Structure 1
Amino acid sequence: MLDTLDSHILHALHVAPRAPFRLVGEVVGASEQTVARRYRTMRRAGTVRVVGLVNPAVQGLVASVVRISLRPDRIDACAEALTRLPEVSFANISFGGSEIVCSMATPHEGRMPEVLRQLSRTPGVLEIDTRMTLHTYSPPGADWGRLGPSLPEEAVESLREHHPRTTPQGLPVEPHEEDAALLAALAEDGRASQATLADRTGWTTGRVARRLEALERSGTLFYDVDLALEKLGYPFSAALWLNTSPARLHETGSALAALPRVVFASATSGAQNLMAIVMCTDAADFYDWLSRRLATVPEVTGYTVSVRLRTLKQAASLVYQGRLVAPPR
């Protein structure tokens, strides 16, 4: 379990992933040196990784949620192969050991993803259910989900005012070939300083700053914060697949995303039209969430649950013995 200061630092990073330690220190009430030391300790412990990622839309891809049903004796081999694919993120083995649920960047215009074609031929795979993410209700930074002591709203507003997230303008554009070293460095550490990025790329810090601004403004580059949630005291999580009427879809999805412990909520294609990820301390806590929190959401007409057995991968980090580690390159 993390203390209040660590929790506030993580919340601040969800709001502004590349905010200077000085600014984070101002909003959490600690010195720049203390914040930097605390963050580096959590990063070394595998509790948190800030990563810079390329928007899948650059390659004409959309986010999809994929449920893969397998024979239990094939789950480990398939999990090992899946987590090493760059287009796969947020992969988990479900309770019972016969299903993997993951997010995948897939094409949507007339071509079957090669990774799904290969999966369908993999021994032990029984069924693949792919659902396109149609709309995300959780705004940037919302995946903190009030999982620990949170910053007061005035501190969050101060972060947004002094270090606002860049608002993408227009469609994402394909990165240049010369951006490869910059993007590789940010995938390892999304908080790498401009001096570090200049050293990795051979550019001046001014050129790094200009290129970062261009990639962020085009929507090509974005940042995510991976957490080892067990270290925050939330070893239990579940994916919920819910139904509501089309007339109430936006209202219900927005209300779902606003609930405590919900780290992600979206509208999807498929048999159910909503999906959410919920973090809890144990089964009793999850039951309490279902009966007291979910019960307040209007017009939920039905739901099913996939309880996580083991986390394999977050946005861009593998999970090994409860620690976040960078994937091999």
Structure 2
Amino acid sequence: MQTATEGTNLKESAMISELDLEIVNALQINPRAEWSRVADVLELSGPTVARRWSALAGQGLAWITPSPGPRYLSAGWSAFINLSSTPERHGALIERLCAEPAFGTVSLVSGPHDLFVDCFASSHEELMAIVTGAFADLPGVTRREVVFVTQLYRQASEWRSGTLEPARARLMAKGSMAPPPAYSPDKLDAALLEALARDGRAGWADLGTACGVSAQTARRRVERFLASGYITMRCDTAAVVQQNLREVSLALNVPATHVDEVGRYFAALASCRLSAQVLGAQNLVVTFWVRDYLEIQAHERELASRAPGSTVISRQAVVRTYKRLGHVLDESGRSTGVVPLPLWREAQ
């Protein structure tokens, strides 16, 4: 149970304790690890760790939710969308975008566009329907640019804050499991994903009750789709926990002979949140979390060295994020609610 002192500290202070940061880093590595395992790694008691996480989650400072896995694009579809809008309809447009389940992230950005949106769909047909139909009724849109994601080199679920010592981080790592044969999701898989979107740390018994099955069945199904690589779990945090990191994305046009090499190079950098090959005027999108915008110049110099002939199509710095992977955020970046993503719907 959260103590009054802990609750007050989290509510009134912009400072997050080192313990909180270590717990978050542990759950970035292994989001559904047993509290006893996290406690052993941090040399604490299980109840202490659980209480601290409950305080963070209760204040919207940290949360865990399903996310596309490394094999997601073999089962689902994704696109990045840049939008421009009339100033007087800006607020109404953001509200509509945040309410749409298919739009996972909605950010106000610098550069030639006003908003960046990432879009998820469980089939090509569904993605095309969103791209061709969902924008007709959106208020104030004056321009849109859609690029389709074709290959993922790194996803935000793989980003780590690095707070834990390397030896402790290795102890938190999940053991590898052989991926199951390809399969199609059913109604239960879809229901479990929605329940996990609302509480990514929900216990097996609670998941089973929410979906009308036993705890054992819930565990078996969740472990199967996590092992498949189609879906993973991800720990996200409010801005105060991110310790002044700034988000910047580069849209790049890299010669086809070098795009895989460059995509993998950026993916291996600790500051990289996303590295994705795309189909559009650009062919690679890379997102970094940096402490100084000047770090981006170093990345561009390295790009010119590794892949001569590459060009930067656009640079976007995030001004404010309104929604991140389904979680609706307030002005300080705290989660105030969730709109579950249609990552993987029941097979028809």
CA distance in 1, matches of 2:17, 2:265: 29
After TM superposition, the structure 1 = structure 2 runs for residues 132-281 of structure 1, keeping only pairs within 5 Å, are: 132-138=148-154, 141-144=157-160, 146=161, 149-160=162-173, 163-164=174-175, 166=177, 168-176=179-187, 178-179=188-189, 181-219=191-229, 221-234=231-244, 236-281=246-291
Paired residues of 1:169 and 1:219 also in contact (CA < 8 A): no
Alignment TM-score, normalising by the size of structure 2: 0.80
After TM superposition, the structure 1 = structure 2 runs for residues 97-112 of structure 1, keeping only pairs within 5 Å, are: 99-106=114-121, 107-108=123-124, 112=128
1:125 aligns to what? 141
Paired residues of 2:107 and 2:115 also in contact (CA < 8 A): yes
Paired residues of 2:79 and 2:148 also in contact (CA < 8 A): yes
Give the secondary structure class of the aligned counterpart of 1:37: helix
Give the secondary structure class of the aligned counterpart of 1:190: coil
2:7 aligns to what? none
Indicate how the Cα distance of structure 1 residues 155 and 294 shifts in structure 2: closer, same or farther if over 3 A, else same. farther
How far does the alpha carbon of each residue in 1:260-306 deviate from its partner, in whole angstroms, 9 at most, with x for none?
A: 3221111111111111222234xxx112x123344334227222211
2:6 aligns to what? none
- What is the number of residues matched between the two proteins? 319
How far does the alpha carbon of each residue in 1:222-273 deviate from its partner, in whole angstroms, 9 at most, with x for none?
A: 3222222343223632221122211111221122122232211111111111
1:318 aligns to what? 328
1:24 aligns to what? 38
- Aligned-residue RMSD, C-alpha: 3.0
Structure 1 gaps of 5+ residues are: none
Structure 2 gaps of 5+ residues are: 1-14, 341-348
CA distance in 2, matches of 1:7, 1:13: 10
Paired residues of 1:75 and 1:98 also in contact (CA < 8 A): no
How far does the alpha carbon of each residue in 1:134-181 deviate from its partner, in whole angstroms, 9 at most, with x for none?
A: 11111674222x4xx432333333323xx33655434351222x4565
Indicate how the Cα distance of structure 1 residues 141 and 151 shifts in structure 2: closer, same or farther if over 3 A, else same. farther
2:63 aligns to what? 49
- How far apart are residue 308 of structure 1 and its match? 1.3
CA distance in 2, matches of 1:20, 1:247: 44
- How far apart are residue 118 of structure 1 and its match? 3.0
Q: Judge which range, 62-71 or 131-140, deviates more.
A: 131-140
Alignment TM-score, normalising by the size of structure 1: 0.84
Percent identity over the alignment is 24
Give the secondary structure class of the aligned counterpart of 2:135: helix
Paired residues of 2:189 and 2:222 also in contact (CA < 8 A): no
Paired residues of 1:94 and 1:101 also in contact (CA < 8 A): yes
Indicate how the Cα distance of structure 1 residues 296 and 83 shifts in structure 2: closer, same or farther if over 3 A, else same. same
Paired residues of 1:173 and 1:220 also in contact (CA < 8 A): no
Paired residues of 1:234 and 1:279 also in contact (CA < 8 A): no
* Residue identity opposite 1:286 in structure 2: Y
CA distance in 1, matches of 2:17, 2:112: 33
- How far apart are residue 53 of structure 1 and its match? 5.5
* Residue identity opposite 2:134 in structure 1: Q
Paired residues of 2:248 and 2:315 also in contact (CA < 8 A): yes
